[in-house]
Amino acid sequence: MHDATACPSRPATASRGCTRNTILLGLVLLQLALALTISSIAGASFNDSTVRMLLLLATTLVPLFMIVLMIAHFLHLAILRRPRRPLRTFINDIRTVVLDPRRLGAGLASLLLVAVFSSAFTDAKANIAQIQPFAWDPWLAGIDRALHFGHDPWVLLQPLFGSPLATTVLNANYHFWLFLLYFMIFMAAFDRHERARSARFIFALLLSFALGGNILAILLSSAGPVYFQAFGFGTDFAPLMQGLRASDQVSPVWALDVQRTLLEGFHDESVIRGISAMPSMHVASSAIMTLYAFSWRRWAGWLMVLFSALIMFGSVHLAWHYAVDAYLAIPLALLCWWLAGRLCRLLADPA
């Protein structure tokens, strides 16, 4: 399925690859400037984790992505294409990709820039509370109740996801988000067939994390239901946390360990920090991944709709977010997708 709203497409050339990565470089430099400004205001030193991110990509994520892609491609050959010599065709297809210098060069440059962006974003997020202490939590909890007829949204989700097994499934899906996010970035970085569409996806993601995960997160600084009591807002979400801990005794709830680590990092300023609730970047990025999937295949888009719905439910049920965090994240994603569309038109009509 071709997305009619995608950017105009042109044959891949070296100069066009440079144009895409030039725009990407501009977004990264803006994020770096934002992170340095936030660090300066917070009186903190800039913590560059680019090398750590690149090591994670090189030693774990990229090899895993390659294994997944090779298995998928071999199954595609064996089941759908059925060439006379499937093994030789498989090897030739792999050789075609590996020996394509333009694809490798542009893709590796994109991954490097995304790693730099990720480092700057993470540093800025860690300093949010130093600039604007968490203050919006009572307001957001109140808005949640007003929108849901006087009920906390997590209470409404209990009949569906209140069991230990359902909680574990939601948590597994929530953790899978990180793998899927970087897998789709990886695919987009090395895509040569629909470069403008893939560029739009990467641009939209970066815009959403900068505008939502840093700027809006500062303006609407909040910690989330999990930390409602820890930051002195009351015991409203104590029953939810007690329920999660009870579920963990029966079936694992990995979110509890992550939440504990983040709170410890907040107090002792360790490497692992970054408490921030509004807006939900899990939901915003999942919405952008959904739009990208629809631009590829309709069935993939609908699978991502299901995935994104589970992410939204999980964000509330696992106490990471208020429901309104997700409700704001969706229009944020649509705005960033539109802005990315404007940006990637430069790929077709460079000035």
202: pLDDT strictly greater than 90: yes
Whether residue 5 lies inside any domain: the answer is no
Q: Is residue 38 part of a domain?
A: yes
pLDDT at position 350 is 43
Model pLDDT, residue 17: 43
**Could you tell me if residue 75 is inside a domain?**
yes
- Mean pLDDT over all residues of the chain? 87
pLDDT of residue 18: 45
pLDDT digits (tens, 9 = 90+) for 131-176: 999 999 999 999 999 999 999 999 999 999 999 999 999 999 999 9
% of the chain with per-residue pLDDT over 70: 92
Structure tokens at 262: 């983040």
pLDDT level of residue 348 (50, 70, 90 thresholds): low
pLDDT at 271: 58
Angle CA 183–185–191, to nearest 5: 100
Check whether 23 has a pLDDT greater than 70: yes
Q: How many domains does the chain have?
A: 1
Q: Measured between alpha carbons, how far is 256 from 249 in angstroms, rounded to an integer?
A: 12
Flag the least confident range among 79-88, 100-109, 141-150, 342-351. 342-351
> Does residue 111 lie within any of the structural domains?
yes
Q: Is residue 6 part of a domain?
A: no
Supply the pLDDT for residue 7.
Answer: 58
Q: pLDDT tens digits, residue range 74-96?
A: 787 778 777 777 777 777 777 77
pLDDT reading at 68 higher than 80: yes
- Flag whether 9 is in a domain: no
Q: How far is CA 87 from CA 74, 83, 84, 97, in A?
A: 8, 9, 9, 16
3-state SS track over the chain: CCCCCCCCCCCCCHHHHHHHHHHHHHHHHHHHHHHHHHHHHHCCCCCCCHHHHHHHHHHHHHHHHHHHHHHHHHHHHHHHHCCCCHHHHHHHHHHHHHCCHHHHHHHHHHHHHHHHHHHHHHHHHHCHHHHCCCCCHHHHHHHHHHHCCCCCHHHHHHHHHCCHHHHHHHHHHHHHHHHHHHHHHHHHHCCCCCHHHHHHHHHHHHHHHHHHHHHHHHHCCCCCHHHCCCCCCCCCCHHHHHHHHHHHCCCCCCHHHHHHHHHHHHHHCCCCCCCCCCCCHHHHHHHHHHHHHHHHCHHHHHHHHHHHHHHHHHHHHCCCCCHHHHHHHHHHHHHHHHHHHHHHHHHHCCC
Is residue 177 predicted with pLDDT exceeding 70?
Answer: yes
Cα dist from 117 to 89, 126, 345, whole Å:
38, 14, 22
Is 1 domain-assigned?
A: no
Q: What is the pLDDT of residues 254-307, one digit of tens each?
A: 999 999 999 988 888 665 678 999 999 999 999 999 999 999 899 999 999 999
Q: Which domain holds residue 339?
A: 14-348
Residue 168 lies inside a defined structural domain of this protein: yes
Per residue in 28-60, pLDDT (tens digit) is: 999 999 999 998 898 888 887 888 888 888 888
Q: How far apart are CA 62 and CA 56, in angstroms?
A: 8
pLDDT at 13: 40
